[in-house]
Amino acid sequence: MYNIATLFPNTYEASRERFRDYLSEVQKYWPNAVLSHHRLKGSEDLTIDWIQSAALDQNEKVLLITTAEHGIEGYVGSAMLELFIEQFLDQLDPSNTGLLLIHTINPWGMKHRRRTNENNVDLNRNFVYQTTDLDPDYNPASKEIDAILHPHQPLGSYFWSHIPFLLQVFRYSLKMGLKNFRSIALLGQYHNPQGIHYGGKKIQEETLAVMEFYREAFRDYQQVLLLDMHTGHGPRYQMSLVNSVFESGKSQEFEKRFNFPLVVAANPDEFYDLRGDMIDYIYTLKQKEFPSKQLYAVSFEFGTYGDSTLAVLRSMRTMLFENRVFCQGVKKSKTRTRAERALGEMFAPKERDWRIKAVEDGTKAFQGILKSEKYIC
């Protein structure tokens, strides 16, 4: 049994140090494995780190694991990397399988416990195949609800701010329905740099680095498997496997194939829709440039608040309040503390039972996918 208290790191630096220590363990099976870093521009010591190795004999397939595209989600992602190293690394076949483990796509967000990067860009709205998709006129309905999504005043009392928030949600829900209102908010937008789910005006430094990893994987291998770690959405005590809208097959078929209880597609009926998704990007890249290659890419989505109507409202409030604190400031210092604490509860829960179940779900998902894709026996 894992020591849950140490499996989940407390800081970005501790997580990065542990990841760098994995190199010696990986080299037991891939002697030529290397640890590399991409240092982000700026004054802070922030790096995207990765451990990479080609197959020993023939490059047939490659396994990629990525974490912290949404920075604060990297604390759970780090635990899943540790789980993989301890339980599954030695089951792979180095003779025909390459490896690429990426620690913290968004190191600024992980260090500062935010989902976005330093520019307030949600990187999972920034993975577009064409820069013209970073269109400020995309999702015009989001401009209609700017008053609630992008307030321009500092946040006052955390508690009393709930009332105008709920009144605005009620008003918009009467007009367009709560489900549609939520979909508009989650879809992403490219017109307001201080709003939630902002996709940016240009492709970000972090995004460009990861895009090159994917091209390299397709160039070098016939089969690519990508497992990407996320938190925040779905049932609280049941991780979801989230397939791209470009992945054929019904969710129920994947549940049977992986022997996993919850697989959903990234569409409004089963999960939610968005532009600039990293998993959708790698499928588009394959289709456009590497059509003969084999790909399966999926997100591990560890739910936190839950999926009830109240949980959906709580999630939206948490995101909006924390973003408002970051962009517009606060009237009272304790409001900032409460907003940051709420975001931590939403994306990096500390509850022991939640963490134990996350490890159980992660183990089951690794086992089912790696076996189905013939990476382990």
- 289 and 239 in a common domain: yes
Q: What is the pLDDT of residue 203?
A: 98
Residue 315 to residue 232: CA distance in whole angstroms: 8
Residue range 46-50: mean pLDDT, rounded: 98
pLDDT band at 154 (very low <50, low <70, confident <90, very high): very high
The per-residue pLDDT for range 29-38, each reduced to its tens digit, is 999 999 999 9
Residue 1: pLDDT over 60:
no
Q: For residues 201 and 122, is the Cβ–Cβ distance under 8 A?
A: no
Q: What is the pLDDT of residue 271?
A: 73
To the nearest whole percent, how much of the chain has pLDDT over 70? Answer: 100
- 267 and 313 in a common domain: no
Q: Which amino acid is at 110?
A: M
- 356 and 259 in a common domain: yes
Q: For residues 187 and 274, is the Cβ–Cβ distance under 8 A?
A: yes
- 288 and 250 in a common domain: yes
Residue 194 lies in a domain: no
- 268 and 336 in a common domain: no
**Comparing 2-16, 19-33, 221-235, 260-274, which segment has the lowest mean pLDDT?**
260-274
Strand 223-232 and strand 34-39: the pairing is unpaired
Q: Helix 309-328 vs helix 178-187: angle between axes, to the nearest 10 degrees?
A: 40
Residue 191 to residue 84: CA distance in whole angstroms: 39
**What's 1's DSSP letter?**
-
- 353 and 341 in a common domain: no
**Residue in the block written with tokens 């078929």:** 253
pLDDT band at 142 (very low <50, low <70, confident <90, very high): confident
Residue range 197-204: mean pLDDT, rounded: 97
User: What is the extent of the structural domain holding 162?
Assistant: 139-187+308-345
Residue 246 lies in a domain: yes
Q: For residues 246 and 314, is the Cβ–Cβ distance under 8 A?
A: no
Residue 193 lies in a domain: no
The total number of structural domains that make up the chain: 2
pLDDT band at 204 (very low <50, low <70, confident <90, very high): very high
CATH number at residue 22: 3.40.630.10
Beta bridge partners of 101: 51, 65
Residue 81: pLDDT over 70:
yes
pLDDT band at 173 (very low <50, low <70, confident <90, very high): confident
- 150 and 37 in a common domain: no
Residue 317 lies in a domain: yes
Q: Of 362, 215, 240, which is closest to residue 299 (Cα–Cα)?
A: 240
The per-residue pLDDT for range 244-260, each reduced to its tens digit, is 999 988 999 999 999 99
Q: For residues 193 and 120, is the Cβ–Cβ distance under 8 A?
A: yes
Q: Rounded to whole angstroms, what are the CA distances from 375 to 56, 89, 90, 93, 204?
A: 15, 10, 11, 7, 32
Whole-number average pLDDT of the chain: 94
Q: Of 303, 338, 300, 348, which is closest to residue 318 (Cα–Cα)?
A: 338
Q: For residues 136 and 220, is the Cβ–Cβ distance under 8 A?
A: no
- The more confident residue out of 151 and 63 is 63
Residue range 26-51: mean pLDDT, rounded: 97
Q: What is the pLDDT of residue 374?
A: 98
Q: Helix 162-176 vs helix 178-187: angle between axes, to the nearest 10 degrees?
A: 110
The per-residue pLDDT for range 85-123, each reduced to its tens digit, is 999 999 999 999 999 999 999 999 999 999 999 999 999
Q: What is the pLDDT of residue 57?
A: 98
- 120 and 68 in a common domain: yes
Residue 117 lies in a domain: yes
**Phi, psi (5° rounding) for residue 17?**
-60, -45
- 257 and 168 in a common domain: no
**What's 142's DSSP letter?**
H
Residue 171 lies in a domain: yes
Q: How far apart are the first and last CA of the chain?
A: 23
- 155 and 10 in a common domain: no
Residue range 53-64: mean pLDDT, rounded: 98
Q: For residues 215 and 359, is the Cβ–Cβ distance under 8 A?
A: no
- The more confident residue out of 333 and 116 is 116
Residue 179 to residue 365: CA distance in whole angstroms: 29
Q: Of 160, 58, 47, which is closest to residue 107 (Cα–Cα)?
A: 47
Q: Helix 12-27 vs helix 74-87: angle between axes, to the nearest 10 degrees?
A: 20
Residue 114 to residue 340: CA distance in whole angstroms: 9
Residue 268: pLDDT over 80:
no
Q: Of 97, 94, 102, 88, which is closest to residue 30 (Cα–Cα)?
A: 94
pLDDT band at 358 (very low <50, low <70, confident <90, very high): very high
- 214 and 163 in a common domain: no
Residue 363 lies in a domain: yes
Residue 38 lies in a domain: yes
Tell me the torsion sign for CA atoms 93, 6, 359, 123: negative
- 100 and 218 in a common domain: yes
Residue range 207-222: mean pLDDT, rounded: 98
